[in-house]
Amino acid sequence: MGRQIRIEIHGRDEFWARAFHVEWEHQFPGRKVEAGPSPSFLVEDEWLGDLERVAAQCYCKVVRAPDDLHRRTWMKALIQPFGGN
């Protein structure tokens, strides 16, 4: 078993984001994508290439999520007062 990494799956819309999970389970039934802190998922690092390939088939993109989710919250708090989203 490899090292787990945190990813996010960004779909064209909600339909395609759900389609990714259906297609992943169809193509790789033994590989479970575990829900992590929303909106992230925990996966084995060696699956990244396969995840990206399935995502492309479903109009989605796999993005490596930050290991420290508190850092993202902190950065958003700094940016939002200046007009960022």
Q: How far apart are CA 68 and CA 64, in angstroms?
A: 12
Confidence grade of residue 80 (pLDDT, cut at 50, 70, 90): confident
Tell me which residue has tokens 């064209």: 12
Per the structure, the complete domain to which residue 30 belongs is given by 4-82
Report the pLDDT averaged over residues 23-39: 93
Residue 58's CATH number: 3.30.70
Report the pLDDT averaged over residues 44-51: 96
Report the pLDDT averaged over residues 35-61: 94
pLDDT tens-place string over residues 51-79: 999 999 999 999 998 776 666 566 666 67
Burial of residue 9 (number of CB atoms within 10 Å: 0-12, 13-18, 19+): buried
Q: How many domains does the chain have?
A: 1
Question: How high is the pLDDT of residue 83?
Answer: 61
